[in-house]
A and B are shown apart, each in its own frame.
Chain A
Amino acid sequence: MYYPVMKITEFDRDEVLSDFLTDYLDGNLEKVEVNSFEGFLKMNPTEKEFAQKAAKGKKALEFMRKHTKNSRQLA
């Protein structure tokens, strides 16, 4: 089985940053916090790439959830 080799990021080292990312992806940050977090991402390309992939993965799962729900409703 293939597992992508993912780089270790600051999110793995710092729980506060990991929390920040979770809230960012859930849309639970205030505007000023969003700006500050995006500023951090701008300065850290590895973390930015990771955050973008996590956001896209979350959207893919959202699509899956909606599609599964619709299929079950049609069944």
Chain B
Amino acid sequence: MRQATDDHLIAQTRQGDRVAFGELIARHQAQVYHFSRRLLGNAEGAQDITQDVFIKAFLALDTWRPDAAFAAWLLRIARNACLDVLRAQQRYPQVSLEAQTEQLVAHSSSAEQHAIQTQRLEQLEEALSKLSVEHREILILRDIEGFSYQEIAELLDINTGTVRSRLSRGRAALIQQINGGATND
């Protein structure tokens, strides 16, 4: 089961194999959850969205085509769900990620390094949460999730030239935010 590809698991799910779909959830849940958490700025809401994403994906599994990466398809569903929530809220709440950054530096060699890195990553998460949704989502997709320009273009329905320019503006805004300046973002 662990060696099976996403395509194979999807085919099994279409035949009614719930265990196969459970394996797909296990593979992609963390990515969907953390993408949603960062985009939404809310850990609890992100968990609800993660469940919704997999339910929607299950119901729409017949519309998925193998030419699109399953992970990208899931994140597209997650993005739409997050944008719906954000539109309803009409605000972009900040996120507190102390617990996560604490885990990150647990293996640092010294206490001093640990403290410095914790602080830096906390600042980074906070700065990221203050950016516009447009900049935040593209930075998450590229620099955190590691999608290619082409994959991002397909996921966001924009061309690769726009990906390039938007990514550049997002990075500039993030650097400015980290350096203590409120941006026009």
Q: Decide whether A and B are members of one complex.
A: no
